[in-house]
Structure 1
Amino acid sequence: MLERARHELRLLVCAIQFLTRAPMPALSRFEPDWITRAARYFPLVGQGVGALSAVILLAAEQAWSGLVAALLAIGVGVLATGAFHEDGLADTADGLGGGQTAQRRLEIMKDSRIGTYGVCALVLVLGLKIAVLAQAPALSAALMLLAAHGAGRAAAVVVMRLTPYAPSGDAGKWKPTPQGVRTGEVLLALAFAAWPLVLMPPYAVAAGLAGGAVLATALALTAKRLIGGHTGDVLGGVEQVFEVGFLLGAGALLT
């Protein structure tokens, strides 16, 4: 039992190290499938980032306007993750938008340089997040941040389970194991993502989840059609579009 608890703690540390820039103790050993096994904790890590962003937003609201507070909150979230998911979104937009064949799209996604599609995707997604948060009451905006960050990571875990890994995507940010993400791990991720939702009005939760699901599903299906499945970049893109879809849906009813 104690060893099981230690292993779960190692997986949580692995998830934090993988998804953020937070300083963590070095693991004494590491196995290749730990990142996949740690997917169950991705929503918890996301909620940590969302909580940090929410605190910054509430604090900044005491001194500046909603727009400045929203910008600072989003900026802190980007810093906390090292723009991990935003980079995936940009690479996905460049690859899916710029290539003519699956192989060429994957090659573009692996290129560290950002193109026009990537810039447009980042400006649109980050701009929409800031705009929604700026017009919402401060407490509602903080709760939306907490919920969106967790649910966005859970959406990425669902896509990991439901879509295949792109045939030539082995140079992405995440490499699958032969077993992939297990159903039980997906259910745990969804359970972890659910708790902040009880702090929000049910109608706003429903609208947010619907908005996020529509955008995440559209991106996942587009990636499956154009490159054969997901890569680490696609998962980052899924997380980002779910976040903005959730904020748009919930924000429409909370502002």
Structure 2
Amino acid sequence: MFSDYGKDIVRSIAFLSRLPVPARLFEGQDHSLSVMIRAFPAAGFIVAMPAALTLLILSAAHAPPLLAALIALAVNSIVTGALHEDGLADVADGFGGGQRKDRILEIMRDSRIGTYGGLALILTLAIRAAALSSLLAVISPIGAVLVFLGVATVSRTTMLCHWYALPAARSDGVAAKSGLPDRTALLTALVVGAVIAICCFSPVMPVYSWTTAIVMALVLAGLFTIFSDRKIGGHTGDTIGASQQISEMALLATFAIVA
């Protein structure tokens, strides 16, 4: 069982990032993405490590907090291939530029970025960088790293809730072909995500601070889920990625406010 879960972590890392993973781990895979999602929180923690290490090194070198935050986020985008940022941009373009479901989905599938998508990318980078730099100014570099890793974990847990809560908005695409997350896999992901979050946040912040941040992330992700349902009647791979970005922004912004 642990071996299977360990393999799912590595497979999830390949799905959520551009980190190299041995192809043999995908040979003879006996379950789908809907089960593999149980490892997304743990994979999110690992995927965020290069950026977290960058943040620590720059802080130790006394780099200005905003510069350290921006470079760490740049490293994170390189490692992930800006997977979730791409989803946010597509959702912003689709929801902002379309009225009917079919037109919204058509815009979201277009690889070109419009005004709404460009603005969304600017805002997500600005909000996260400002929040992270604010944290670096008031807590230790190690504390900021733990918060960063915890946020990466929790945001990839909340996006699974968005995925599970809605049916697929289109009949094709990765999300549609994968189906809804397996219920047992989702519960496993929630437990793993909660354990990692507690281990990361508890040494740095009082309980009321990190619970407030998690509640804010859940609330905003929930509101986005309701909005997605009204706009396109379900989820897509893009809305799943957008929900991760919304959760990450909510977590970091709340931490910066309550720190």
Please list, as runs of the form range in 1=range in 2, the aligned pairs for 1:148-163 lying within 5 A after superposition: 148-163=151-166
**1: distance between equivalents of 2:8 and 2:44?**
15
In the other structure, the counterpart of 1:190 is: 190
Superposed displacement of residue 164, structure 1: 1.3
Please tell me whether the aligned partners of residues 204 and 251 of structure 1 are also in contact (alpha carbons under 8 angstroms).
Answer: no
Summarize the Cα distance change of 1:8–1:143 in structure 2 as closer, same or farther, 3 Å threshold: closer
TM-score normalised to the size of structure 2?
Answer: 0.89
In the other structure, the counterpart of 1:239 is: 244
Superposed displacement of residue 30, structure 1: 4.4
Please tell me whether the aligned partners of residues 149 and 243 of structure 1 are also in contact (alpha carbons under 8 angstroms).
Answer: yes
In the other structure, the counterpart of 2:214 is: 209
**1: distance between equivalents of 2:211 and 2:8?**
31
Q: Unaligned stretches of 5+ in structure 2? A: none
Find the partner of 2:32 among 31, 34, 43: 34
Superposed displacement of residue 177, structure 1: 3.6
Please list, as runs of the form range in 1=range in 2, the aligned pairs for 1:16-27 lying within 5 A after superposition: 16-26=13-23, 27=26
In the other structure, the counterpart of 2:81 is: 82
Q: How many percent identity over aligned positions?
A: 36
Please list, as runs of the form range in 1=range in 2, the aligned pairs for 1:70-149 lying within 5 A after superposition: 70-136=69-135, 137=139, 138-149=141-152
Superposed displacement of residue 54, structure 1: 1.8
Superposed displacement of residue 28, structure 1: 1.8
Q: Which moved more, 1:36-45 or 1:11-20?
A: 11-20
SS of the aligned residue for 1:230 comes to coil
**1: distance between equivalents of 2:41 and 2:70?**
23
**2: distance between equivalents of 1:51 and 1:223?**
31
Superposed displacement of residue 24, structure 1: 0.6
Find the partner of 1:8 among 5, 9, 16: 5
Letter in 2 for 1:23: P
Please tell me whether the aligned partners of residues 48 and 149 of structure 2 are also in contact (alpha carbons under 8 angstroms).
Answer: yes
Superposed displacement of residue 185, structure 1: 1.3
SS of the aligned residue for 2:176 comes to coil
Please tell me whether the aligned partners of residues 151 and 251 of structure 2 are also in contact (alpha carbons under 8 angstroms).
Answer: yes
User: 1:139-174: per-residue Cα shift (whole Å, max 9, x none)?
Assistant: 3322221111111110111112111111x2523x53
**2: distance between equivalents of 1:115 and 1:40?**
34
Please tell me whether the aligned partners of residues 166 and 234 of structure 2 are also in contact (alpha carbons under 8 angstroms).
Answer: yes
**2: distance between equivalents of 1:206 and 1:251?**
14
SS of the aligned residue for 2:89 comes to helix
User: 1:156-201: per-residue Cα shift (whole Å, max 9, x none)?
Assistant: 11112111111x2523x533445x2122211111112122333342
Letter in 2 for 1:206: T
**2: distance between equivalents of 1:9 and 1:207?**
31
**2: distance between equivalents of 1:215 and 1:125?**
14
Summarize the Cα distance change of 1:142–1:169 in structure 2 as closer, same or farther, 3 Å threshold: farther
Please tell me whether the aligned partners of residues 99 and 108 of structure 1 are also in contact (alpha carbons under 8 angstroms).
Answer: yes
In the other structure, the counterpart of 1:170 is: 172
Please tell me whether the aligned partners of residues 148 and 246 of structure 1 are also in contact (alpha carbons under 8 angstroms).
Answer: yes
Equivalent pairs, count: 247
TM-score normalised to the size of structure 1?
Answer: 0.91
Letter in 1 for 2:121: L
RMSD, aligned α-carbons? 1.7
Please tell me whether the aligned partners of residues 50 and 147 of structure 1 are also in contact (alpha carbons under 8 angstroms).
Answer: no
Letter in 2 for 1:170: D
Letter in 1 for 2:210: V
Q: Unaligned stretches of 5+ in structure 1? A: none
**2: distance between equivalents of 1:55 and 1:17?**
20
Superposed displacement of residue 214, structure 1: 2.2
In the other structure, the counterpart of 2:51 is: 53
Superposed displacement of residue 60, structure 1: 0.5
